[in-house]
Amino acid sequence: MITLYFAPTPNGQKISIMLEECGLQYDTVLVNILAGDQFKPEFLEISPNNKIPTIVDSEGPAGKPISIFESGAILIYLAEKTGRFMPTEPLARMQVLQWLMFQKASVGPMFGQNHHFNDYAPEKIPYAQNRYIKETARLYGVMDKRLAQSTYIALDEYSIADMAIFPWVANYKRHGVDMLDFPNVRRWMDDLKARPALRTGMAHMIETRWKQMSPDEKKTLFEIENKE
């Protein structure tokens, strides 16, 4: 059995999507990052960088329990455990890994800064807001160019790289970009939204996120996510 320690964020959503896509049985433990659960000693034992997500697999290598932190590492582990969503052929495998690293090194950090400075920062700093909106748009352009050449982000088959990027792009209404400028990204999003397992993995996180929020937070989120 796999236990997923999560918060309802794009990084958490990646793993619930993968678990659903693989049909693996799993339990979830909510780590309330607003309350500081990520700093508790018992959580730091399995996630020393005090970040979500983390998994504990009771049936790890050689049948022994293993805990894994960092969402990219978790995706690779689950792909290797199940033999799914990452090819073994070296060139194809490298394609998947490099686009997974693109998400880890660029999409996640830059989109995250965009969210912070435009939605959450107590002081509005135009320089920072503009900087991260422009960088977000540049990354959408990189993805759009790639998706003009490939059905999915790494290959012509669905992979963990798509699962890693999708939850971030799903927040496009918060990014200050016009999706009409990125038709290939839009096509890719629509293709992925048609996958039942992806929808289930996303829905679990969204439902948990909603339950956590105060009425004022829900109102703010609704306004952010429904602005054009």
Domain layout of the chain by residue ranges: 2-84, 90-194
200: pLDDT strictly greater than 80: yes
Q: Which residues contact residue 157 at a Cβ distance below 8 angstroms, ignoring those fewer than 6 apart?
A: 87, 151
Mean pLDDT within 117-144 = 96
Same CATH fold assignment for domains 2-84 and 90-194: no
Over the stretch 56-104, which tens digit does the pLDDT of each residue have?
A: 999 999 999 999 999 999 999 999 999 999 999 999 999 999 999 999 9
Mean pLDDT within 202-209 = 73
**Single pTM value for the model:** 0.90
Identity of the highest mean pLDDT range in 147-156, 193-202, 214-223: 147-156
CB atoms within 10 A of CB 40: 12
Secondary structure (DSSP) of the chain: -EEEEE-SSHHHHHHHHHHHHHT--EEEEE--TTTTGGGSHHHHTT-TT--S-EEEETT-GGG--EEEESHHHHHHHHHHHHT-SS-SSHHHHHHHHHHHHHIIIIIHHHHHHHHIIIII-SS--HHHHHHHHHHHHHHHHHHHHHHTT-SSSSSSS--HHHHHHHHHHTTGGGTT--GGG-HHHHHHHHHHHT-HHHHHHHHHHHHHHHHH--HHHHHHHHHHHT--
Q: For residues 211 and 25, which has the higher predicted lDDT (pLDDT)?
A: 25
Mean pLDDT within 212-224 = 53
* Confidence at 18, pLDDT banded by 50, 70, 90: very high
Q: What is the mean pLDDT of the chain?
A: 91
> Domain spanning 2-84: which CATH class is it, in words?
alpha beta
Residue 34: per-residue pLDDT = 78
Would you state the CATH architecture of domain 90-194?
Up-down Bundle (1.20)
Mean pLDDT within 191-206 = 89
